Amino acid sequence: MNLKGQRDLLLLTELERDGAITQRSLATKLGVALGLTNLYLKRLAKKGCIKVTAIPPHRVRYLLTPQGFAEKSRLTHLYMQYSLTHYRDMRAHLRDTLSRAAGDGVKRVVIYGTGELAELAYLSLREMEMTLIGFVDDGQRDSFLSYPVRQTKALAEWEFDAVLLAELERTARQREQLERQQIPDGKILALGPLV
pLDDT in tens, 31-51: 999 999 999 999 999 999 999
Which residue from 123, 133, 131 is spatially nearest to 95, judged by alpha carbons? 123
Judgement on whether residues 25 and 97 belong to the same structural domain of the protein: no
Helices (H), 104-188: 116-127, 171-180
Judgement on whether residues 101 and 49 belong to the same structural domain of the protein: no
Neighbours of 188 (CB within 10 A): 17
- Per the structure, the count of domains in the chain is 2
Task: Give a yes or no: residue 80 inside a domain.
Answer: no
Segments forming the whole domain that contains residue 145? 93-189
Judgement on whether residues 98 and 184 belong to the same structural domain of the protein: yes
pLDDT in tens, 53-110: 987 777 889 999 999 999 999 999 999 998 898 889 888 989 999 999 999 999 999 9
Residue 28 — pLDDT band, cuts 50, 70, 90? very high
d(CA 63, CA 85): 32
pTM: 0.70
CATH number at residue 12: 1.10.10.10
**What pLDDT does residue 52 have?**
92
9 touches 75 (CB < 8 A): yes
Task: Give a yes or no: residue 79 inside a domain.
Answer: no
- In terms of Cβ atoms closer than 10 Å to its own Cβ (0-12, 13-18, 19+), residue 15 is buried
Judgement on whether residues 97 and 37 belong to the same structural domain of the protein: no
Task: Give a yes or no: residue 71 inside a domain.
Answer: no
**What pLDDT does residue 192 have?**
63
d(CA 113, CA 165): 7
Residue 64 host element (H or E): strand 60-64
Residue 193 — pLDDT band, cuts 50, 70, 90? low
Tell me: pLDDT of 195 over 50.
Answer: no
